[in-house]
Structure 1
Amino acid sequence: MRTESLTWRPLTRGDAQASADLLNAMDAVDGIGELYTAEDTLQELIDPGADLERASLAVFAGDVMVGFMKIRYKRFAEETHRVLLDGGVHPDHRRRGLGTTLVEAGVAAAKTLHDLHHPTLKLAIDVYRAEGIAGLAELLRGRGFTPARYFQRMERSLAAVPAAPTIPDGLRLEPWSAGTDEDFLAARNEAFRDVWGAPALPLDFWRNKFTNHTLRPEASFLVRDTATGTPAGMLVTNHWPADAEVTGVRDAHVMALGTVPACRGRGVATALIAHALRAAAEHGFERMSLNVDSAGPAGTSGIFARAGFTPKTRYVRWALEA
C-alpha cells in the first residue's frame, strides 16, 4: 500500500544493504555504537526464527528504507512463547506515526506466528533496546509494553590481561572448531536451562546467531570434564568489523558464556573469561565487552566485575503479555 508517498511491504533478503543503511543512520543519532554491514543484516534476514512474509514490514521513501519491523519467534518454548519484536525508524522520519504503525503491525504479526507455532502457550512480545533512545519509552508504554528486565553492557580494556591463565584440576580447555560446534551448543543449552527467557536453541538457530561470520574462534573456548569428556562450560566471542571502522576500537564481544549446572563452583566461568581475555589481546583486540542480565547471578557485582569489567550502556527488555 502507499501512504504519504511511502511504500510499505514485507522485508526480503534483498534488503540487506538498505537495512544496514537504516540501522547505521539510526545509530548516528541514538549513539549506541552498533554498526552494520550488509553481511550482518543479511544474517538477520535469513534467521530461521524469522518469517519475513508473515511477520515483517519495511517502509520506503523511494529507494531508501526509512522504517522496519520484524518478528523472531522461538521454535522451542515451554509455558510462555517469548517472541522478539525488532524495528526502528530513520531519524528524519520520526514523530510522524511510523513507529506506532510498525509496533502495532509487529504485535499483530507476533500473534499470527504464535498461533501458528505455539497456540496453546502464553505469548509475550519483547522489545530489546538501549535505554535513553528519544521517544522510545513513550511509544512502547503507549502500546502497553512495560519494562520486564534490565541488561548491562560491560567493557574491559585488554591493555593488561592475566598472564598464562590456568584451568582448574579435572578440566581441559579446547578452542572452537567446526567439529566441536555441537558440543558448544549442548553446553550452552544445558547451562541456560534455568536462565530467564533462554530456551534451548536448535542447531540452525545457534549457527545463525552465534557461530556465524562474526565468530572469533581464536577467542572462543569449551571446557570439558577430563574424567567424563562431557562439556562443562563454553564461551563464544564475536566481532563486528563495522563497529571498529567507526569507533577505531577492535572489540571482542562475549556473545555466550555458561557453565553446566553439574560443574558450577569449579571455576569454569572464571577460567573461560581469563583465557578469552588473553586470546583476544594476543589477536589484536583492544577491548572485550558483554551484556549481562542485571537481575541474574552474574550481574555487575559478580564474576565480570571481578574480572575487571565495568558497566557502560544499560538495555531494557520491554514486554507485552498478549
Structure 2
Amino acid sequence: MDKVQRLRDVSDADVAAWHEVVVASVAHDLPGEPAPTLDQVHGHLATPGAGSRHLLWIARAEGVVTGVARLRLFEGAGRRHLGEFTLHVHPGHRRRGVGTTLLRTVARAARDEQRRTLVVEASSQTSGASFLEANGFTCALSLSLLLLDVAAARGVEEIVGTEHPGYRLTRWLGVVPDALAETFAEAKSSMGDMPTGKMDFGTTTWDTDRVRDMAEVVEKRGDTLLTVAALHDDAVAGFTELVIPVGDGTRAIQYDTAVVSPHRGRGLGLWVKAAMLDWLRAEWPAVREIETDNAEDNTHMLAVNERLGFRPLRQTRQYQCDPRMIH
C-alpha cells in the first residue's frame, strides 16, 4: 500500500528520489526528450514561482518512492482561486492507484486552500491525458510545442539588421534595469489579451516588484534569464525572455514574448526574437535548441516562430477541473 507524505523540509535524499521518478517518467512517456537535471529539480522544489507558494508530496511503497506531486498556489490578486499541479508516477509502479491517490491528495489540499480551479498540462501523446479526463478534467486549451535548432534558425542577421525607425534594441541579464522596470512591467501586462482558450487563469497584475521577483526566482533556482527589448522613447515597446536552465543548458526555454498594443504590426516581435538568437549564438554557444509553446489559435506568434525555423514537436493540452469534483 502506497503512503503519501507531505514534504515540509526537502532533503537531498528527497530531491534525488523526486529526480529519479521524473527522469523515469519522462523517458517512458516522451522518449528522446531531455529530462530535468538534478540541479533543476532542486531549484524548483526549493524555490516556488513568483507570487506563489507550493505544497509537495511523495508516495512510498516499501521504502521506495513511487510517485511525486507538486501543487502551486497563486497568491496575487486575481489568481487566488487557482492551483496548478504536476504529478509523476514511476512507470514501474503505474496502474496501482498511485496517481489517483496523489491526485486526491492534491485536490483535498486545493479545497482546503479555497481554490476553485486546478490546472495541469499533459502531452496528448501520453496516458496522462486519458487519466485526467477519467478524473473529471476537461481540456480548455490546446498548445503546439515547438523546437528550434539555434544554428539552423533562418534569416537572423537580416531580421536583426532591419530598420525600425523610432525603435532601438537593448538587452539585459537577470533583473530588469531600474530605468526600464516600470515600462517593462506595463509591457508584461500587455500579455493579458493573448489567447488562453477557456482556461480560468484569472488576471496577473505586473508591477515593478513582480517583474523583479520573477527574475530573482529564476536566479535562485540557478537558471539564467535573458531579455531582449525594443525601446521607443526609452520605454519598452516589446520584449522576449529566454531561460537557460542550470545543468545541461543545451535546450533553452522560451518565456514571455509580447508587444505593447500601440506598437503592434511593426514586426517588433520577430525583431526581438531574432536579436535574442543573435545574442545566444555569440555568447551562449552551448545552447543548441529553444523550446516554446503557443496556443493553437495564436496565429501571429505561430507565424513568427515558423519564420525563424521553429518546427512542431508535439501537442500538449491544458486541463482544468474544480477540485470539489475530485474525491
TM-score (norm 1): 0.82
| Residue 232 (structure 1) aligns with | 237
Distance 1:130 1:260, change over 3 A: same
1:287-317 deviations in whole A, cap 9, x for unaligned?
22211121324353x2111222121111110
CA distance in 1, matches of 2:301, 2:231: 25
Note the C-alpha offset of 1:185. 5.6
Tell me whether 305-314 or 63-72 shows the greater mean CA deviation.
63-72
| Residue 315 (structure 2) aligns with | 314
TM-score (norm 2): 0.80
| Residue 150 (structure 2) aligns with | 158
CA distance in 1, matches of 2:72, 2:212: 14
Aligned ranges for residues 87-166 of structure 1 at < 5 Å?
87-114=87-114, 123-134=116-127, 136-161=128-153, 162-163=156-157, 165-166=160-161
CA distance in 1, matches of 2:216, 2:65: 24
Aligned ranges for residues 225-264 of structure 1 at < 5 Å?
225=232, 227=233, 229-240=234-245, 250-264=250-264
| Residue 185 (structure 2) aligns with | 186
SS at match of 2:300: coil
Q: Percent identity?
A: 20
Does residue 78 of structure 2 align to residue 78 of structure 1? yes
1:15-69 deviations in whole A, cap 9, x for unaligned?
32222221111111112624122321222222052332xxx32112455422122
Q: Which amino acid aligns with 2:88?
A: G
CA distance in 2, matches of 1:79, 1:8: 28
Distance 1:94 1:84, change over 3 A: same
CA distance in 1, matches of 2:23, 2:136: 28
SS at match of 1:110: helix
Q: Alpha carbon RMSD of aligned pairs, Å?
A: 2.7
Tell me whether 144-153 or 28-37 shows the greater mean CA deviation.
28-37
The answer as to whether partners of 2:81 and 2:117 remain within 8 angstroms in 1 is yes
Q: Return the match for 1:292 from 291, 294, 300.
A: 294
| Residue 118 (structure 1) aligns with | none
1:72-93 deviations in whole A, cap 9, x for unaligned?
1222253883321211101111
Distance 1:28 1:101, change over 3 A: same
| Residue 10 (structure 2) aligns with | 13
Tell me whether 94-103 or 261-270 shows the greater mean CA deviation.
261-270
CA distance in 2, matches of 1:179, 1:206: 8
Runs of 5+ consecutive residues of structure 2 not aligned to the other structure? none
Note the C-alpha offset of 1:96. 0.1
CA distance in 1, matches of 2:142, 2:101: 26
1:231-273 deviations in whole A, cap 9, x for unaligned?
11221112236556xxxxx223212211122322222211111
Note the C-alpha offset of 1:318. 0.9
Q: How many residues align?
A: 297
Tell me whether 180-189 or 37-46 shows the greater mean CA deviation.
180-189
| Residue 228 (structure 2) aligns with | 221
SS at match of 1:176: strand
Distance 1:286 1:79, change over 3 A: closer
Note the C-alpha offset of 1:146. 1.0
The answer as to whether partners of 2:142 and 2:317 remain within 8 angstroms in 1 is yes
CA distance in 2, matches of 1:181, 1:101: 46
| Residue 207 (structure 1) aligns with | 215
- Looking at both structures, which has the greater relative contact order when contacts are Cα pairs under 8 Å and sequence separation is at least 6? 2
CA distance in 1, matches of 2:177, 2:137: 36
SS at match of 2:113: helix
Q: Which amino acid aligns with 1:172?
A: R
Q: Which amino acid aligns with 1:163?
A: E
Q: Which runs of 4+ in 1 moved over 6 A?
A: none
CA distance in 2, matches of 1:126, 1:30: 20
